[in-house]
Structure 1
Amino acid sequence: MADGLGWTGPVVLGTALLGLGALSILKGANLTIVPESLYLYYTDYRFGFVRRGLIGQVFAPLLDRLPRHLHEPLILAWHLATLVLLLVLLTAWAARIAARTGRDMRLMALLLFVSPFLGSLAFFTGGPDVLICLLTLAAVVALRRGRPIIAWLAFLAGMLAHQLMIFTALPLMLFTSLAAPRYRRMSFAGSLALGLVACLVVVLAPPADERLIDRFITNGIPPDTARLIHDLQLDQDVAGMSRRMVGLWANFPMQGMIAVAYGGAAGIVILAYGLVTFRAALPALVPASPRLPGIAGRVLAGLLALGAGLAPLLALALAWDVSRLASLCPFTAFLAVAVLAGQSPAQPPPAGPWPAASACGVLLVLFLCMPFLGLWFEGVKLNQVRPLIPPASLSVAPWNWVVQGVEAVYRSPAAPSAFRAPP
């Protein structure tokens, strides 16, 4: 390789990333499937079209034939299998790109794998996020190889599984289309049209059939929880959800910002580091024209990269799983930077600025040592209920003090507000 690593570069780096990623997963991995994840496997199209119905539609033929006590082991096995698949594919892809593009990209890759991203995916057992990330990675890789139809199929599958696909994949697909080796305009226009259709489906989808509530209850979800899941997850009203989120942000601003900082700090640093390091690649994404001078094109490309890398934060206008959604930012930010690195005219590019490398290194050490935290507006969750392995870092005094400090902030009373938070 040009930076002196030779053929062993991807192997050595991949081994390190695989080990760090496995450690991050073990921090968050647990054997508890909460009803807010379990319902997805019983939500299908038997009563008509419903948002988030694809996972249940795939699992329904099997679950209907299995005794109830085997459902959760099957879902747990699916969760762990897809998580391991994502870890292996992401490791192979990131190691190859990072080894080719120099020290800075290697630092960013290491930070991605120790950030809360993988631990959060592991913690929410049975949730849709692992599948969404797999399909997002597939869409980006397909577009980078000039295969937009595969990317669109991946997006459609993810969209039918969960609306989160709009926030993780769509901005990245639009950004990656600018770097596609062929069919660039078709890729961009097709991705944009598909995204608009997906947004219309979310807004105009018919109400979820109430018979799904009985199906949830039959499969072990408590009646009150089944009703809340139907009303707040499947039968979402966009305006109503936005009002609830305004109430939460108004009542718990400090708690919300701590959760965003914990989950998204690594993504923000990765994106800033990447934009500075690979800034020479920006003109290739939006070429200059008489209507768009060179500097305007670079600014536009930089804004598109910011939007693609931090798009999961936009979901916080509609959902209150704050650290869970913010923790997706390191993943989307790294994908955006990888697209930019692929367009760099120099391989490897000149070294990035030392302040960015230092910030990346500090966060790398911090997240490597920290235990997993799940942060909401009104509470903190640690991986202490049926963890795959005990959270050893909680027995270390400094980290125990940090966790206690965070818990103290979340126990403080809500700020007075004229807005109502959700029940």
Structure 2
Amino acid sequence: MELAQRVQALTPSSTLAITAKAKELKQEGHDVIGLGAGEPDFNTPQYILEAAKKAMDEGMTKYTPSGGIPELRKAIVDKLKRDQDLTYEEDQVIVTTGAKHALFTLFQVLLNPGDEVVIPAPYWVSYPEQVKLAGGKPVFVSAEENNDFKLTKDQLKSAISPKTKAVIINSPSNPTGMMYSREELEALGEVAKEEDLLVVSDEIYEKLIYTEDPHVSMAQLSEDLYNRTIIINGVSKSHSMTGWRIGYAVGDKAIIKAMTSMASHSTSNPTSIAQYGALAAYTNSEEEVERMRDAFSERLDAFYEKLTRLPGVSCVKPKGAFYLFPNVKEAAVNCGFRDVDDFVKTLLEEEKVALVPGSGFGAEENVRLSYATSMDNLDEAAERIKTFIENHQK
């Protein structure tokens, strides 16, 4: 039986072969160091675990409203006021089965066939696929490495057509770890206003920032941008709750209402117990969040120094998230590989270090390395990569 065209149009993830090979090597008994993790290596804080258990003990195990329990939506409203001085009402919030589901549902209710969404590259791998699944067309704009992989005002203007409906801004970014300043967002916001674009502001890494520069949301900049911005966020990265699958979208009431209606016919509601865990995350101290952030900051400094000493490797130092996105094109060429994908594949086979090739993120000269692992693993990975390059250099 022939599959639906929408599924046939999806681009296979370039990370699958590496992931599968790494698992195979581990099963064979090899000591594989995986630097592909997109999640913190810390357990969920104890107070969240206890809140979830309490919810189970008290029978909070039934269906909830499709848009999330009122207590959690109120906690999200309070969080946005506390952190960013943004004022929302509860009917401007939908709680979803992870931030990924928030994005998926948004594109489903927003896009008609042929509508275009501007996506700066490098990009998170699911953005273009979700746009395509909604019948839309991803329009890629290469954000230059010498501009810290960030989209410029002129680039955005040049990418717009009569069919452009939205632009995605991910700050801090996966895979680059870069973040936009207020001035950079204001410049992009001018274009969004002039061209009547919706701004999809993915802020899932906003608590993991290693600089004095504050996180800024497009919605903070003006009343117009507040009205045309949909904030996407969740507790997965900030509170090490990736498996709990709780995210949310905040913004225009009509869009949120449509998303809630669609969710009622897809997931029914986010998991009840996980919602109570997320409620605890947003109504307690952020001491554990700060402890995790401090650990990531220490790892970043140490690993960045080792990585940038490697021959043929250059890297812009990120300001947030937990990824490094070095350019390894020179190293790959000097080592005789046809491209970076081949470099990554052979590194895994010979030195048992798993990286994610940048081709899956729209950047063929780069690789993504996660430092969401122990310092010992990072030190050993750096040594293995160094040995690999030295053994292959011509």
TM-score by length of 1: 0.28
- Larger relative helix fraction: 1
- Larger relative strand fraction: 2
TM-score by length of 2: 0.29
